Amino acid sequence: MKVRVHNNWPPGHIRTPAYLRGKVGEVERDIGLFNNPEQNAYRLPPQERNLVRVRFTMSEVWGDAAETPDDVIEAEIYAHWLEPA
Amino acid sequence: MPHDHHDHDTLSPSGHPYRKDDDTALSYWQVLEIAVRELLIEKGHITAVQVHDQINTMDARSPANGAKVVARAWCNPEFKSALLADAAQASRDMGFDIGPMHLIAVENTASVHNVVVCTLCSCYPRNLLGLPPDWYKSRAYRSRTVIEPRKVLSEFGVDIAQDVQVRVHDSTADMRYIVLPAQPALARGLLENELAQWVTRDSMIGVGIPQAPI
Chain B, window 93-152: residues with a beta carbon less than 8 angstroms from a chain A beta carbon: 102, 119-120, 146-151
Q: What is the Cα–Cα distance from B3 to B12, expressed in whole angstroms?
A: 9
Q: Establish whether B143 is a catalytic residue.
A: no
Interface check B164 vs A, CB under 8 A: no
- For B188-201, the DSSP string reads TT--HHHHGGG--H
Looking at per-residue confidence, does B22 or B60 come out higher? B60
| Residues of A whose CB is below 8 A from B150 | 67-68, 71
This prediction has a pTM of: 0.90
| Residues of B whose CB is below 8 A from A26 | none
Domain count, chain A: 1
SS3 content of chain A, % helix, strand, coil (to 5): 20, 40, 35
Q: What is the Cα–Cα distance from A77 to A57, expressed in whole angstroms?
A: 15
Largest CA distance in chain A: 43
Q: Is B168's CB within 8 Å of A71's CB?
A: yes
Q: Is A71's CB within 8 Å of B172's CB?
A: no
**Alpha carbon of A31 to those of A20, A52, A75, A76, A79: distances in Å?**
19, 6, 11, 9, 11
Q: Which residues sit opposite A72 in a β-bridge?
A: A57, B167
Tens-digit pLDDT profile for residues B140-183:
999 999 999 999 999 999 999 999 999 999 999 999 999 999 99
Q: What percentage of chain B has pLDDT greater than the value 90?
A: 88
Q: Which domains does chain B have, with CATH numbers?
A: 1-60 (no CATH), 62-205 (3.90.330.10)
Looking at per-residue confidence, does A5 or B1 come out higher? A5
Gap from A42 CA to chain B (nearest CA, Å): 16
**Alpha carbon of B72 to those of B61, B106, B117, B206: distances in Å?**
18, 15, 24, 18
Please report the number of interchain residue pairs, chain A to chain B, with beta-carbon separation below 8 angstroms.
Answer: 63
Tens-digit pLDDT profile for residues B121-136:
999 999 999 999 999 9
**Alpha carbon of B56 to those of B40, B61, B128: distances in Å?**
19, 9, 14
Say what the pLDDT of residue B214 is: 87
Q: What is the Cα–Cα distance from B71 to B86, expressed in whole angstroms?
A: 17
CATH number of the domain encompassing residue A52: 2.30.30.50
Tens-digit pLDDT profile for residues A33-83:
999 999 999 999 999 999 999 999 999 999 999 999 999 999 999 999 999
Terminal CA-CA length for chain A: 8
B92 pLDDT higher than 50: yes
* CB-count exposure of residue B136 (10 Å: 0-12, 13-18, 19+): buried
Residues 6+ apart with CB under 8 A from B91: B65, B69, B83, B98, B103, B128
**C-beta neighbour count of B203 within 10 angstroms:** 24
Q: What is the Cα–Cα distance from A68 to A62, expressed in whole angstroms?
A: 10
| Residues of B whose CB is below 8 A from A74 | 167-170
Given a contact cutoff of 8 angstroms between Cβ atoms, the answer to whether A74 and A13 are in contact is no
Among residues B121, B138, B143, B154, which one is catalytic? Answer: B121
Which residue range(s) make up the domain with A53? 2-84
User: What SS3 class is residue B30?
Assistant: helix
B41 pLDDT higher than 90: yes
Mutate to test the interface with A, among B102, B142, B146, B179 (most CBs of A within 10 A): B146
Say what the pLDDT of residue B1 is: 47
Looking at per-residue confidence, does B23 or B115 come out higher? B115
